Structure 1
């Protein structure tokens, strides 16, 4: 393709790229959402109306608008509507709870929050009412699925659509998204993704996968994650293709999407593929249109790779590696990689991306030597929102991003992840940083000390296992401790098991030696 897609979005904003698509292919489908189909012209019109509604509410360039909602066309309307006027979308996971909402909305300074009224049985209206005194920056909450003055319809009521790209003052280097990623200290950091970085990652991925307007990609990953926002919606936008969007992942919803559309690209994490392969209804699906299966989020096991290739009828299988800090994909399996290579490497850097392996002093190491993987390219984020020290530690002044992953690189550029420099583990495709969970556990009066590790799990890849030492003279109520975590953290961060121990192994310097921690039960 000679980087034609990359060139097409260079020096463009999200609003301009959407307006281009709406002008060139207005009737082409962009989003399939159950029985609903949203064309590019539809998305442009809806995003334009939201821009007008936000402007009428006093939201302008640089203001933060947060969203906590399941995948839906409205989610993307919020994304493009905010981008058109230069507002910054703060993406929250709908499963976040008290701790995450309070910190992220406060740290970002979000002025307006768009939120599901209900999700998975959880009622957000009373939750946010109780939380309001701790959210001083939030001036207005808009509920999806509601009626009345605080509804989505009320926000866009009376706003007339236009066909332009929005505020002409918005530039490609302006921030478009703040996406929070947990940190080793327990405080989440908001990766600041620009119009340029989001479009660069999306276009480079689309080039590597040869995406076209004929492709329909499965959108099962949440939009608050770059896997959904960039790898699915963004890459389809720049290629002019469509997304078969799911509100959440479930095998039955995937089966319905397969029956309604001719899915050509599947994209998910290993847990999703395992669940699909185990579903009886999926075994009867016609997958003849599938040309590509993309697996990201963690290492790809050879047995799973064989099963995927067999069940999907021999499509190309590719690994995808990316971070919040790279706005999406930055390393992908190239054309022609064998199954063995796909299961032992994460691929090669995308065209326009440079990668290197460095030591602790950030000196580049020779090929085949393990060190920290660093990435450089137009896809790299602008830093962490309002965190200059953390930004300086991760984003070097010369443009290199420290990924925190220990890797090796072959002479032909294939990269293999060896270990994580950070303590992060991945549960079902979601990154979990133990420090954040440990901070919640340690806040309980019954807990004197805590440590959380990731342990292998056949379904989720890894799950959390917590060790706690009781405070003097106090008995730990494990059930209450887990309930505390559920109240303050997203469900995927809650430890699957808590073990009370007399002591934790320590280093001479007083740090916990997690490498010596072993669960006493399966």
Structure 2
């Protein structure tokens, strides 16, 4: 499959699917089914609408919306004209919107009118002075001139692959991943890198036209965009798409005859605890894929029993690898799946290096580095950060500490710097600490990840008061909820007199121990 997409653009691959299997289902969404030909027609009409709005090759279009067919139409339409989609999460708030829209230079924003009870129209109206690059906002579902339907109504359906000037090496997506400094970095994913990751995954999983993959992860995450939609596109299969994850929605999606479950451990735990899911027919599921962390043994046993003994596989990928880069081979036993993340995909090289950059012997722990066609082009407009992470000879420094066995299996032994994973979402403490530290009553703060029964890990904050002040914990929490996505908001804030420090003046987070956990 890798050779089949080499040298092609996303628009070209969709056009080929629409030409060879026009009536094959691509996206199942509620009661609707969209074929490859339907998606091609919608994307070409939407591309005309974007051109009419002044969007062209290289322009950035931001999108903040729940998973939907319209989201994908916008993605394929942008790809057809060589525009770059800047993917935002609907649970982002002021801090994320302001920084990401400004840093990317997005001129058009596509957005849901509301999501989860949050009304975006007044929010964006108030935010407008802080996002001067955004010249126009278009709302999905709106019936007025600001609506997506109005923008795309006059376009023409076409079976062409899009603008011939679009190159496989052109950026297609800017996907933000937070940094240890607290400033998010926009991983620049090209047509070629997105298709390479999707094709390598499809090949490892032997995905085909009869597969129906659960699309429960958000599209601003490579798990939703590449691992679900991209792999199904190149394999000719379909996606049972959910607007968000919820056990009841998964039960509905199962009626589509799911063959591949793709999610994170938190999703599995929530499903196994759901009464509705207990009665769900899962006999069609042949493969259960877990990303975000290893499938630990007790959970693996529960999944095997409930799903009827499907193949289990770990999937390791980063924003910087456009999606999957390491996956458990089909031959891996449950014991191997529980202790490793798998082996590099065909077309991906992996090495473990020491602090000096030299290769380490098998079995020794060091930084995991990856190289292959799936690696991103760097970070958008951040040359220093790009140079620090992406080498001139193609190696990506993942920042994860790992070991490699003699047969090439990889095991991650330490998290990327201080990052923790809450419910499948990466959280970088520095970003949360920046919000806490902006309060004048906070002299010093530190955020760590602590174990959580449902989410795997969750945030816990320690704050030291400024002399002569009293910390208002409720005010701090409210500030976090206003400025940050919900999953980044710490579960608790503990006021302490001091924090343990190193001789160099850095906080020794390893010594922090919560006292207020319930």
TM-score category (smaller protein): over 0.9
1:351 is paired with a residue whose SS is coil
* Structure 1 residue 294 corresponds to structure 2 residue 289: yes
Superposition pairs of residues 223-372 of structure 1, within 5 angstroms = 223-259=219-255, 261-372=256-367
- Count of residue pairs brought into register by the alignment: 517
Measured after TM superposition, the shift of residue 145 of structure 1 is 1.6
The residue aligned with 1:9 is 5
The residue aligned with 1:436 is 431
1:367 is paired with a residue whose SS is coil
Contact 1:359–1:371 (8 Å) recurs in 2: yes
Task: Output the CA distance in 2 between the equivalents of 1:146 and 1:490.
Answer: 24
Measured after TM superposition, the shift of residue 15 of structure 1 is 0.2
Contact 1:258–1:285 (8 Å) recurs in 2: yes
Contact 2:350–2:368 (8 Å) recurs in 1: yes
Measured after TM superposition, the shift of residue 283 of structure 1 is 0.8
The residue aligned with 1:414 is 409
* Structure 1 residue 60 corresponds to structure 2 residue 56: yes
* Structure 1 residue 169 corresponds to structure 2 residue 155: no
The residue aligned with 1:392 is 387
1:11 is paired with a residue whose SS is coil
1:331 is paired with a residue whose SS is strand
Measured after TM superposition, the shift of residue 88 of structure 1 is 0.1
Task: Output the CA distance in 1 between the equivalents of 2:396 and 2:127.
Answer: 36
Task: Output the CA distance in 2 between the equivalents of 1:421 and 1:38.
Answer: 39
1:403 to 375, 383, 398: 398
Task: Output the CA distance in 2 between the equivalents of 1:458 and 1:138.
Answer: 41
The residue aligned with 2:487 is 492
Contact 2:461–2:494 (8 Å) recurs in 1: yes
Contact 1:470–1:502 (8 Å) recurs in 2: yes
Contact 1:89–1:176 (8 Å) recurs in 2: yes
Measured after TM superposition, the shift of residue 421 of structure 1 is 4.2
The residue aligned with 2:118 is 122
Contact 1:405–1:417 (8 Å) recurs in 2: yes
Contact 2:14–2:233 (8 Å) recurs in 1: yes
Measured after TM superposition, the shift of residue 360 of structure 1 is 1.1
Which whole-Å deviations, capped at 9, do the CAs of 1:36-73 have from their partners, x for residues lacking one? 10100010011001100010111000000000000000
Contact 1:372–1:421 (8 Å) recurs in 2: no
The residue aligned with 1:73 is 69
2:176 to 180, 183, 193: 180
Which whole-Å deviations, capped at 9, do the CAs of 1:440-485 have from their partners, x for residues lacking one? 0001111111100000111000000000011111111111101100
Task: Output the CA distance in 2 between the equivalents of 1:456 and 1:472.
Answer: 32
* Structure 1 residue 30 corresponds to structure 2 residue 61: no
Task: Output the CA distance in 2 between the equivalents of 1:487 and 1:495.
Answer: 13
Measured after TM superposition, the shift of residue 357 of structure 1 is 0.2
1:102 is paired with a residue whose SS is helix
Which whole-Å deviations, capped at 9, do the CAs of 1:373-402 have from their partners, x for residues lacking one? 000000000000000000000001110000
The residue aligned with 1:86 is 82
Task: Output the CA distance in 1 between the equivalents of 2:187 and 2:175.
Answer: 5
Task: Output the CA distance in 2 between the equivalents of 1:361 and 1:172.
Answer: 34
2:467 is paired with a residue whose SS is coil
The residue aligned with 1:141 is 137
Task: Output the CA distance in 2 between the equivalents of 1:109 and 1:158.
Answer: 27
The residue aligned with 2:466 is 471
Task: Output the CA distance in 1 between the equivalents of 2:206 and 2:157.
Answer: 33
1:218 is paired with a residue whose SS is strand
Contact 2:445–2:463 (8 Å) recurs in 1: yes
Stretches (4+) displaced over 3 A: none
Measured after TM superposition, the shift of residue 521 of structure 1 is 2.3
Stretches of structure 1 that go unaligned for 5 or more consecutive residues are none
Task: Output the CA distance in 1 between the equivalents of 2:510 and 2:271.
Answer: 34
Superposition pairs of residues 103-118 of structure 1, within 5 angstroms = 103-118=99-114
Task: Output the CA distance in 2 between the equivalents of 1:406 and 1:158.
Answer: 52
Task: Output the CA distance in 2 between the equivalents of 1:374 and 1:87.
Answer: 30
Q: CA RMSD in A?
A: 0.6
- TM-score, length of structure 2 as denominator length: 0.99
1:66 is paired with a residue whose SS is strand
The residue aligned with 1:216 is 212
Contact 1:372–1:404 (8 Å) recurs in 2: yes
Which whole-Å deviations, capped at 9, do the CAs of 1:93-139 have from their partners, x for residues lacking one? 11000000000000000000000000000000000000001111000
1:49 to 45, 50, 53: 45
- TM-score, length of structure 1 as denominator length: 0.99
1:450 to 437, 445, 451: 445
Task: Output the CA distance in 1 between the equivalents of 2:293 and 2:64.
Answer: 25
Task: Output the CA distance in 1 between the equivalents of 2:78 and 2:50.
Answer: 8
